[in-house]
Structure 1
Amino acid sequence: MQLKNAALYLLSLSLLALAGAITYFAASLRDINSSLPQIIDTVEKVNQNIAPLVAEAADIKKQIPAILKESEQIRVSINETIKEAEKLNSQLPVALTESKNWRILVPIIVKEAELARETLNSGIQEINLVRQEIPVSITRVESLITESRNIGKETSEGAVAGVFSGALRAPFELIAGIGNSVFSIFKSEEIILDNSDKEMILETVQALINASEFGKTTAWKNPATTRSGEITLVNATTIKKARCFNFLFKFNDQKPHSENVSTILCETEQGSLEVVR
């Protein structure tokens, strides 16, 4: 009897629990029904967004081969870059050695540059000195040209005028080679000239030719040898198309002896003077 009552009691509790569960399910179902439109709306919105995502995924899928190809090219380029880096690494010791050599050479080059600069400064100073002498030389040349023009106008001999007009416009230097030729005119064995005498005589001859003052007598005296003399530029002429100058030389030795010599000096094709008579 007690077991039967217990069973009925348990059955009643079970039915009561079932009724509560059904009631809760009904309430939950009602809430679900009220939320269902929102769920459906959300699903529709999701469906609308899925289509663009699918299309974008398709585009990405199309680009994947190109990306793979570029990746392959990049991998090839990386391999080449690695090889070049290896070459650079192998050449680096040589470059370092050359750099070391240059570092050794730089002080030498700098020292040579300083020497060259000193030489250049010296050359510039010499050029400045020459530049200072140029105006004096130009003034002298202009004076000679003016004198030659006056001589050309005053002389009555056209040939002589032509000779001196050209000679004085371009005065020439007496070269050392004419010395033996000029001094051969002194035939006397008692007349002995040393180099300083000869140099002074040649300078006097050159000065007379450059000044072109015919008939002028210029005296010279060498204090070192006590020898002296006089040189006169008598006139000028043309012999075989060569410009010639008639000179009168008077020589005085330290001994009581003197000698007068008249001679003609003509310009050669080489620009020197030689004795023709």
Structure 2
Amino acid sequence: MMNKNLATYILALSLFSLAGALFHFTLKIVELSEVLPTVAESINDTSSKITPITEEVALVRQAIPGILTEVEQARELVPTVVGEMAKVRLQIPAILSEIQQVRNTVPSILKEVAMVRHVVPDILTRIDNIEQQLPGIVVSVNNFSEQLAQTNQQIPDVLAEVQVTRESIPPLLSRTEVMVENLGNIGKTTGEDAVYGVVRGIFKAPLKVVGGLGKAIIEPFEKSATWVNDQDKKIIEELVRQLLHDESASVYEKRNETNRNLNRVSLAETKRINRKPCKIIHVEVMSASGLYVDNKVTLCQNKDDTWQVYK
């Protein structure tokens, strides 16, 4: 009897527990029903996000062949890169050696810098001393400039005096040459013919020609015209003197009676050279056989009325 009551009690307890469990399950179902709309929205959101991801995955799959190609190309470049790296590694010891050399020179450079820094105060002191002396130097320079300006003003006068001295030298030389020539030709002139002697007596005394007139006229003939003799040279020189003395005529000529050469002197041009009046004389010699030679000589007049060959 007692066992039966216990079984009934256990059964009742079991039914009560089952009822409680069913109540709890009902509550959970109610809670689940409340959450289901939110879960459904989350599922919808997730499904809406899955579609772009799927499309991106498709694009990634399309890009994979190109990526694999580039990876393959990169793999092909790996040996070259490795070779370059090997070359760089081979150069590293030399670079490190140069760096070490530079490091070795750093102490000496720092020593020189220290020496320069040590000398700088003395240099600055000297600069200060020079700056203090600058006013006096400027005054000295100004004084020198004034003296130089005064000297520059005197230079034209000095140059004028030098020019006068230079111009006076040729006449002195001409007088010396003429005296020597006269002394050497005293015996020679006494034996010349009367007409030639008259010409020398009239024109040679008041008119002097210096500067190697005979050489300037005849030198071009000595090689090209050996048939022009000394008598022709004398006649030409006297004709030149006559042309310079007498401005009424522009052409003078005379025949050499020994070889029948005709000597002619004419005025080709007059002009001023170095502020001196000058004449260009055209000298011509014609032989009886038809040979011809000519030359031009420029003579300039000095202040003492002597004529000098212009070279």
- Would you call these one fold, judging by a TM-score over 0.5? no
Q: TM-score, normalised by structure 1?
A: 0.37
Higher alpha-carbon Rg = 2
Q: TM-score, normalised by structure 2?
A: 0.33
